[in-house]
């Protein structure tokens, strides 16, 4: 969830610095990267949780 928050903050900065094309493109790229990282982390946690709940249901 923290990564998603960072992506939103970067997204807000893009709007304010749209006159600086290079800067806004860089921030946009960073925003996408951190958003992807957040989703990736979330899916790992979901898989671990899923696996552990399956293991506990077998016992």
- pLDDT tens by residue, 13-23: 555 544 556 66
Q: Is the pTM of this model over 0.85?
A: no
Residues 27/13, Cβ–Cβ less than 8 Å: yes
Domain count across the chain: 1
What per-residue confidence (pLDDT) applies to 1? 45
Percent of the chain topping pLDDT 70: 51
Segment 27-50 mean pLDDT: 75
Q: How far apart are CA 5 and CA 55, in angstroms?
A: 32
Q: How far apart are CA 26 and CA 39, in angstroms?
A: 20
What per-residue confidence (pLDDT) applies to 17? 45
Q: How far apart are CA 14 and CA 21, in angstroms?
A: 9
What are the start-end ranges of the H helices in 1-59? 2-16, 21-58
Instruction: Identify the domain containing residue 11 by its residue range.
Output: 2-58
What per-residue confidence (pLDDT) applies to 34? 72
Residues 30/3, Cβ–Cβ less than 8 Å: no
């Amino acid at each position: 969830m923290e990564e998603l928050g960072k992506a939103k903050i970067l997204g807000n900065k893009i709007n304010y610095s749209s006159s600086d094309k290079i800067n806004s493109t860089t921030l946009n790229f960073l925003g996408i990267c951190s958003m992807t990282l957040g989703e990736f982390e979330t899916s790992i946690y979901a898989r671990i949780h899923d696996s552990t709940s399956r293991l506990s249901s077998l016992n």
